[in-house]
A and B are shown apart, each in its own frame.
Chain A
């Protein structure tokens, strides 16, 4: 079955970086985009960007453009999202989700809570 398994919760200090992983299984990894979406506590969903698992092309939301890097490792079918210069308002659950261009995100990871606190 198709699964996206994310890495565990992280606690970081302001100014730190965090790298969240998302291991895909049950489908051809390179046939989809991997999106990253975050959700602050009690808030709505915020799209951060996507990476093509086929060729590594990225499309970042301007809000995060200078602080985020999305990468993939096709040998392990794993996608990564690194967010730098963390602030307290980066505290959120971070989700990975696969998609193709004509569909929304049909499979999601379980989410990774990143807490930023001094």
Chain B
């Protein structure tokens, strides 16, 4: 089973700032099948990025993903008030499709 470790656990930031979230895998992610999700309280997760770097439909271009192998990042170029949420990475290249433990962005 691939273990995904996200860092940091919590980030305190201000609107307008740039942020980079990290997701490290315990072994190489097959075909870089790595996704990022945003989840707000009481809501289902929302897909942001798939295949490590492809934005999902309707996702603003301030969200970008990069990385390959075992190291991946999600960058938000300018934080909007609506971006304060929990972010999860997930690998779906090999079963079981594991999630990271999440990074919380707070104001």
Contacts and interface: CB of A to CB of B under 8 A. Distances in A.
Interface string B62-75: 00000000000000
Contact of A44 (B35, B36, B101): B101
Interface string B22-44: 00000000010101110100001
B84 interface: no
Contact of A95 (B44, B49, B50, B57): B44
Interface residues of B, number: 26
Contacts of A47: 90, 96-99
Contact of B90 (A45, A49, A109): A45
Contact of A106 (B47, B90, B95): B47
A37 B35 CA distance: 15
Most buried by B among A37, A45, A47: A45
Contacts, number: 65
Interface stretch (A67-75, A76-84, A97-105): A97-105
A46 interface: yes
Given A44-B88, A45-B45, A45-B90, A104 B99 contact: no
A104 B44 contact: no
| Chain A interface size range | 20 to 34
Contacts of B88: 44-45
Contacts of B37: 45, 104-105
Interface in A87-112: 95, 97, 99, 102-106, 108-111
A46 B47 contact: no
A47 B99 CA distance: 7
Contacts of B102: 44-45
A68 to B, nearest CB: 12
A99 B47 CA distance: 11
Contacts of A110: 44
Contacts of A102: 31, 33, 50-51
Nearest to B36: A104
A110 B39 CA distance: 12
A62 B47 contact: no
Given A44-B102, A110-B44, A111-B44, A104 B90 contact: yes
